[in-house]
Amino acid sequence: MPRTNLNDILIFMAVVDAGSFIAGGQAMGLSRSAAGKAVIRLEERLGARLLNRTTRTLNLTDEGRVFYERGLQILASVDAAEASVAGRSDTPRGVLRLSVPDAFGRWAVLPLLEEYLRAWPETQVEISFTDRFADIVEEGFDLTIRIGPTASHTRLVSRVIATCRTRLCASPSYVAEHGETRDIDDLAAHDCLIFASRNQRHAWRFRGKGNSWITAQGRSRLRLDSTEAIRDAALAGLGIALLPDFLVADDLAAGRLRQVLPDLETDDTKIVTLYPDKRPLEPRVRRFIDLMVEELERRGEACRRDANSL
């Protein structure tokens, strides 16, 4: 019996990783039609359906999942063999592609790039600064950093590396016009500036009686998908915002913003790294995460290392 075409296996795995024949074919330098034919050849060779296809989605069958996971193991073994022969197993090389939140990226990521690039001269870095939740696999990122809740994903590894304190704050002009906020219930009468992307809206959580967490929000007449824009809106007197320490500490110290309900304990915001769960973590990614954790430790009280981080 002739061997299965290894290229067909790689094309199948690229289609699964990308979530579509179009994107998977592009990753392999092929058309949608060519990628589809390769998967069909593989299914015929194996005598089993690997993918359930609809006009909108692709889903692995049980047989497809077993074959895909075995393929990951084989690729990992090949990578390890190449690395051991070439002596490249622990030396970062190549292009590190990152997606990071705009404000956090400017505050914590940019300052460590000089150290990273100097330590690993065979690396390059490409960064997308955005508060949008990027599709890591589809858009070809090695690593993304997110702040706040993240949706679970079977193809991604999610790791909390630190937490940062958040504060309710508003401008002096807003407080003067709308009055002091004395307890959580008062928020219902205030304009609250909410982070909301197209597919996700962040709720505010506070420590209530009995050490339990409660969710509360006031009127939400203005919703934005940028943390920087929320800060700017708060400075302009448009409402109350819940923002991380690293973004508003200087504004609070200078009096441009005032803390609202300062005795109220807010829920710490998680700083999360996500990367594709398909091969051993590349050295360029692993070394960057190590530096990121060290950088957050240097930042002191603004961010605290998570006990379960790397």
Instruction: Answer whether residue 247 is part of any domain.
Output: yes
Q: In the chain, what percentage of residues exceed pLDDT 90?
A: 32
174 and 251 fall within a common domain: yes
175 and 216 fall within a common domain: yes
CATH code at 176?
3.40.190.10
CB 216 within 8 A of CB 204: yes
Residue 184 three-state SS = helix
Beta bridge partners of 272: 146, 160
Q: What phi and psi, each to the nearest 5 degrees, are found at residue 164?
A: -130, 145
Per-residue pLDDT reduced to its tens digit, 213-252: 777 767 788 888 888 999 999 999 999 999 998 899 999 9
pLDDT of 5 over the 90 cut: no
CA dist., res. 300 & res. 302, Å (int): 6
CA dist., res. 189 & res. 237, Å (int): 15
pLDDT of 29 over the 80 cut: yes
Question: CA gyration radius for the chain?
Answer: 24
pLDDT of 309 over the 60 cut: no
pTM of the model: 0.63
**How many residues in total does the chain contain?**
310
Largest CA distance in the chain: 82
How remote is the C-alpha of 71 from its chain's centroid? 26
Per-residue pLDDT reduced to its tens digit, 173-216: 999 999 988 888 888 889 999 887 655 556 787 776 666 677 77
Query: Which of the 8 DSSP states describes residue 29?
Result: T
Range of the domain at 237: 166-259
pLDDT of 310 over the 60 cut: no
Per-residue pLDDT reduced to its tens digit, 136-161: 877 888 999 988 766 556 577 888 88
147 and 289 fall within a common domain: yes
User: Which tokens go with 214?
Assistant: 């409660």
